[in-house]
Amino acid sequence: MREAVRPTQLDPKISERLKRDASGLFAAIAQQYDTGEVLMLGWMDDEALHRTLTTGRCTYWSRSRQEYWVKGDTSGHQQWVKSVALDCDGDAVLVKVDQVGAACHTGDRTCWDTDVLEPVIGERPGA
């Protein structure tokens, strides 16, 4: 399947390292920079990453609306970028942010606290 391509100003040296899905997207995990709290997962393409790197605000690609959105422009719950890192194989980015208010569209601080599952707790040998 061919990747979707939207115009971008992203540095080609960064772009060539990215692995995208068939829609041209990769995962972007937002984490609170000072506490390590995992806030949300969004989707970016090259241009969303470019905007995130150059504006100091997180920009994502909305898969449902097929448009860019800057976190907090309508809700007031902004994400102020502190650092951005690519993972080792280039298919995800970790964006450390200063989150204002809720990160989740439900109004919760994080997207990860609603459906906590009950796994068997693993222990490494000799622990």
Whether 124 maps to a domain, the answer reads no
Kindly compute the dihedral angle of the four CA atoms of residues 63, 87, 52, 109, in this order, to the nearest 10 degrees: 70
Whether 91 maps to a domain, the answer reads yes
Domain encompassing residue 86: 12-99
Whether 125 maps to a domain, the answer reads no
Per-residue pLDDT of the chain in tens (127 residues, 90 and over written 9)? 344 556 788 888 998 999 999 999 999 999 999 999 999 999 999 999 999 999 999 999 999 999 999 999 999 999 999 999 999 999 999 999 999 999 999 999 999 988 889 999 999 998 7
What residues pair up with 85 in beta bridges, in sequence order? 94
How many domains in the chain? 1
For residue 79, what is the domain's CATH number? 3.10.20.810
Whether 81 maps to a domain, the answer reads yes
What confidence score (pLDDT) does residue 63 get? 94
Q: How far apart are CA 88 and CA 41, in angstroms?
A: 18
What confidence score (pLDDT) does residue 5 get? 58
Whether 122 maps to a domain, the answer reads no
What confidence score (pLDDT) does residue 53 get? 96
What confidence score (pLDDT) does residue 114 get? 84
Looking only at the bridges linking them, the beta strands covering 79-86 and 92-99 are antiparallel
Q: Cα angle at 10 between 21 and 102, to 5 degrees?
A: 70
Whether 88 maps to a domain, the answer reads yes
What confidence score (pLDDT) does residue 2 get? 43
What confidence score (pLDDT) does residue 4 get? 55
Whether 35 maps to a domain, the answer reads yes
Q: 9-15: which pairs have CB atoms within 8 A and are 24 or more residues apart? A: 9/47, 9/50, 10/46, 10/47, 10/49, 10/50, 10/53, 11/50, 14/49, 14/86, 15/46
| Sheet of strand 38-44: strand arrangement | 38-44, 26-32, 92-99, 79-86
